[in-house]
Structure 1
Amino acid sequence: MGNKQNKTASTELTAQHIAMLKANTKYSEKEIREWHAGFLKDCPNGKLDKKKFVEVYKQFYPQGKADNFCKFAFQTFDANNDGSIDFDEFLLAIAATSQGSLDDRLGLAFEMYDISNDGQIDQKELTKLITAMYDLCGETDRKGDKDPKKRATDIITKLDVSGDKKLSKAEFISGCKNDPVIRQLLAPNV
Structure 2
Amino acid sequence: MGNKQPKTSSTELTDKQFALLKANTDYSDKEIREWHAGFIRDCPSGRLDKKKFIEVYKQFYPSGKPETFCKFAFDTFDANHDGSIDFEEFLLAISATSSGNLDDRLGVAFDMYDISNDGNIDQAELSKMIAAMYDLVGQADRKGENDPKKRAAAIIGKLDIEGDKKISKAEFIAGCKDDPFIRKLLVANA
- Conserved in 2, the CA contact under 8 Å of 1:10 and 1:86? no
Shift of 1:32: 0.8
Give, in whole Å, the separation in 1 of the partners of 2:188 and 2:82: 28
- Which residue is equivalent to 2:147? 147
Shift of 1:10: 2.9
- Conserved in 1, the CA contact under 8 Å of 2:9 and 2:45? no
Greater CA deviation, 25-34 or 163-172? 25-34
Superposition pairs for residues 169-180 of structure 1, below 5 Å? Answer: 169-180=169-180
TM-score by length of 1: 0.96
Q: Deviations over 1:19-76 (max 9, x none)?
A: 1110111111111111111001110000000000000000000010000100000000
Moved over 6 A (4+): none
Shift of 1:101: 1.0
Q: CA RMSD in A?
A: 1.2
- Which residue is equivalent to 1:85? 85
Give, in whole Å, the separation in 1 of the partners of 2:103 and 2:152: 21
Code of the residue aligned with 2:160 in structure 1: it is D
- Which residue is equivalent to 2:37? 37
Shift of 1:8: 2.6
Shift of 1:3: 6.7
Give, in whole Å, the separation in 2 of the partners of 1:135 and 1:145: 16
- Which residue is equivalent to 2:55? 55
Give, in whole Å, the separation in 1 of the partners of 2:69 and 2:15: 35
Matched residues, percent identical?
Answer: 73
- Which residue is equivalent to 1:21? 21
Q: Deviations over 1:140-170 (max 9, x none)?
A: 0010000000000000001100000000001
Gaps of 5+ in 1: none
Give, in whole Å, the separation in 1 of the partners of 2:8 and 2:129: 35
Gaps of 5+ in 2: none
Shift of 1:188: 2.4
Give, in whole Å, the separation in 1 of the partners of 2:127 and 2:69: 12
1:124 aligns with 2:138: no
- Conserved in 1, the CA contact under 8 Å of 2:130 and 2:152? yes
- Say how many residue pairs are matched: 187
